[in-house]
Amino acid sequence: MKKIELEIVALSHSITQTNSYAVVLGEVNGLRRLPIVIGGFEAQAIAVALERMKPTRPLTHDLMKNFMVAFNVELHEVIISDLQEGIFYSKLLCSSEADTVEIDSRTSDALALAVRFGCPIYIYENIFDIAGVENTEGETASTVKSTESITSSSSDLKSMSLEELNDLLNDVLEQEDYIRAIAIRDEINARKNI
């Protein structure tokens, strides 16, 4: 089956399911998008890796990567391999010195690991034809590289002083709320560039 390479282009609140998030994958050098609903913990794991944040203790996906590296297991690629009743199924293509194996994975976990390993993400063309949507803005995935602020209202942050923002950032980092920390950090950086 033909594989199409994807990349993460956005992460935001899901508009279809409350308390859920959506990761949007975009076709590399193409116009189609693939929105996938994921849980909050997985969204946080993906956001932390995308923003190259260093948590004080390893998150679950960091632990998995550390385990794989310690035992010389390489993650070569993630393949979104099936779609059943609205649920995406994925495989991790891994190898060690002795063997190459495909490991079944939830798509959200596979994406969190792909970001950490820097490996490509693929989808089979027949699945993309069914679930993909055309990007109406006409931009290719490589021109849209954004992680949207997904927990803090930007208007709330804009009304805070720089000192309040720094205090809030420290608080959310202590609570390991990395998704909210990204939004706060972005607001602080925007003010420094003025």
Residue pLDDT tens, the chain, 194 long: 899 999 999 888 766 666 678 899 999 999 899 989 898 889 989 998 998 888 888 889 999 999 999 999 999 999 999 999 889 999 999 999 999 999 999 999 999 999 999 999 999 999 999 998 887 555 444 433 334 434 334 557 788 888 888 888 777 767 666 667 777 777 787 787 76
pLDDT score, position 151: 38
Strand order through the sheet with 3-13: 100-106, 87-95, 74-84, 121-124, 3-13, 21-27, 32-38, 133-134
| Domain spans in the chain, listed from the N-terminal domain onward | 3-143, 154-192
End-to-end CA distance of the chain: 50
Helices (H) and strands (E) in the chain, counts: 7, 8
pLDDT score, position 160: 84
Task: Please give the torsion angle defined by the CA atoms of residues 9, 12, 14 and 15, in that order, rounded to the nearest 10 degrees.
Answer: -100
pLDDT score, position 161: 86
Task: Please give the torsion angle defined by the CA atoms of residues 177, 183, 188 and 194, in that order, rounded to the nearest 10 degrees.
Answer: 170
Q: How is the chain split among helix, strand and coil, in percent rounded to 5?
A: 40, 30, 30
Neighbours of 64 (CB within 10 A): 19
pLDDT score, position 148: 40
Q: Structure pTM? A: 0.73
Residue with tokens 């609140």: 13
pLDDT score, position 176: 63
Q: What is the CATH number of domain 3-143?
A: 3.10.690.10
